[in-house]
Amino acid sequence: MVFNSITFLVFFVLFFFTYWWVSRKGSVKTRNAWLIIGSYIFYGWWDWRFLSLIIISSLADFGLGISIFNSRSARGRKIALVASLLINLGLLGFFKYFNFFIESFARFLELFGLQPSISTLAIILPVGISFYTFQTMSYTIDIYRKKLEPTRSILQFMAFVSFFPQLVAGPIERATRFLPQFSNLKTFDYQRTVGGLRLVLWGFFKKVVIADNMGVVVNALYAQPENYPGWPMLLGAVLFAFQIYADFSGYSDIAIGLGRMLGFDLMTNFRKPYFSKSLTEFWHRWHISLSTWFRDYVYIPLGGNRKGRFRTDLNLLVTFVLSGLWHGASFTFVIWGFVHGLSLIAEKHLSIKKMPVWWVFLLCSLFWIPFRAQGLGHLKSIGVQLLKWPASFRLPAPIQEDVYRLSAVGFVLLIFIAIEKWMKEYDFNDFISRFSKPVRYLAYYLLVLLILGLGNYDVKPYFIYFQF
């Protein structure tokens, strides 16, 4: 079940009204139980069998969190923490990385002239497993660090892990901030609901008008890069930068808006990253919940910047390589993380604190190429084509076939960029709230018309980050 589908619309409308009825008539336990039921229905719509993974992760970390807190010895606390990490990383490693490591090992043996006969499994990647395992791991780690006391309510914890607005693609919430929100009853707030609806509307606009239309051209270019030397492949890189931003930040806006409509506050995940003046600033603005997770649970424990320049550089590079690997079981993601890590190290050594915004955006667009590439051979082919600049060129087929509509989308994209610049640090709800009622309603109607008129509904409803 995805946000941009009729199925989800029906589901959420029914859930929204029953949720507030339960909250008004029942107790906190009843409310949390209903949240769990709704979240499990939402997640189980893809494949009910994978619900067992969420349940296993939730029950294990609930019990181990209490064990860590109650243990009187440092050894006992460490054993419980290691058990939590092994369970979560074991699930993540098997479903996401088993085939990757088997195939990589086979290629390594081939370097020595060996011809191993290694078969891989037909393993299906459960949607959102990278997100909810990281969320539950942060819970036990924070208890171990004595930053958090464990909850004694299994319903509260399971609702925290499975909260459906952010279950499959974040934001990755910390228990220290988000878990306490499940301990009290919510009262319906009209203004919060309106604010949530504004974010949902803005998120849908970014997804179906910007991201899905950009995706049509991007998919055509990346499907046959050998046919598009020079500027078309550069155009593909730039359009993918807009596609992935509008797609993922659109999802986050919808998730935050839905959470707000249910009385919960989710953390901000994007702060206009393409207006950054350095790559370091970009990573302070892009996928903030993941960036801060890796900072707090990988970079700092490795030593951060406390052990000299070499170790600082190494820690930064390792963190970004692991971040790349988190995104997918492919060497292209490792390359993507490595390139970003190396670039941040270069910025620090060269004392680069400010660059032209367009230059940072162009670098980010080029760095997205390995992220989008379907393997090392595909990445090599794209790189070769980027270096070719023939005197003549032809438009990609999707642009030729729908040039007027895509031109209109391109114009809307320019307006979108201008609005994002105008919004500065505000989210759409805070930004639009500053205007008079007639202006606000005009904006709503225009967004709805753009969604209905220019939205791309020929593609299967999907969000890019569901694959991670």
Helix (H, G, I), strand (E, B) or coil at 352: coil
CA distance 232 to 70: 60
Tell whether 33 and 124 lie within a shared domain: yes
Residue 316 resides in a domain: no
Tell whether 81 and 123 lie within a shared domain: yes
Q: State which of 188, 206, 224 marks the end of a domain.
A: 188
Tell whether 177 and 206 lie within a shared domain: no
pTM above 0.85, yes or no: yes
Residue 231 resides in a domain: yes
Tell whether 69 and 166 lie within a shared domain: yes
Tell whether 155 and 248 lie within a shared domain: no
Q: Which residue has the tokens 């500053």?
A: 434
Please say whether the beta carbons of 122 and 81 come within 8 A: no
Residue 334 resides in a domain: no
Give how far Cα 117 sits from Cα of 102, 422, 439, Å: 11, 58, 66
Tell whether 394 and 444 lie within a shared domain: yes
Tell whether 95 and 197 lie within a shared domain: no
Tell whether 38 and 143 lie within a shared domain: yes
DSSP state of 211: I
Dihedral sign from CA coordinates of 139, 166, 371, 281: negative
Tell whether 69 and 172 lie within a shared domain: yes
Residue 301 resides in a domain: no
Per-residue tens of pLDDT for the chain, all 468 residues = 788 888 999 999 999 999 999 988 888 999 999 999 999 999 998 888 889 889 999 999 999 999 999 998 999 999 999 999 999 999 888 877 776 666 665 665 565 666 666 665 556 667 788 889 999 999 999 999 999 999 999 999 999 999 999 998 889 999 999 999 999 888 899 999 999 999 999 999 999 999 999 998 898 889 888 888 888 889 899 999 999 999 999 999 999 999 999 999 999 999 999 999 999 999 999 999 999 999 999 999 999 888 889 999 999 999 999 999 998 888 999 999 999 999 999 999 988 888 999 999 999 999 999 999 998 999 999 999 888 877 666 667 767 777 788 888 889 999 999 999 999 889 999 999 999 999 999 999 999 999 999 888 877 777 887 776
Please say whether the beta carbons of 67 and 190 come within 8 A: no
Range of the domain at 233: 191-277+355-467
Tally the residues of the chain. Answer: 468
Give how far Cα 181 sits from Cα of 280, 396, 432, Å: 32, 49, 27
Residues known to be catalytic: 327
CA angle at 199 for the pair 363 and 211, rounded to the nearest 5°:
40
Structural domains counted in the chain: 2
Q: State which of 156, 173, 188 marks the end of a domain.
A: 188
CA distance 270 to 52: 31
Tell whether 115 and 221 lie within a shared domain: no
Residue 311 resides in a domain: no
Q: State which of 169, 188, 207 marks the end of a domain.
A: 188
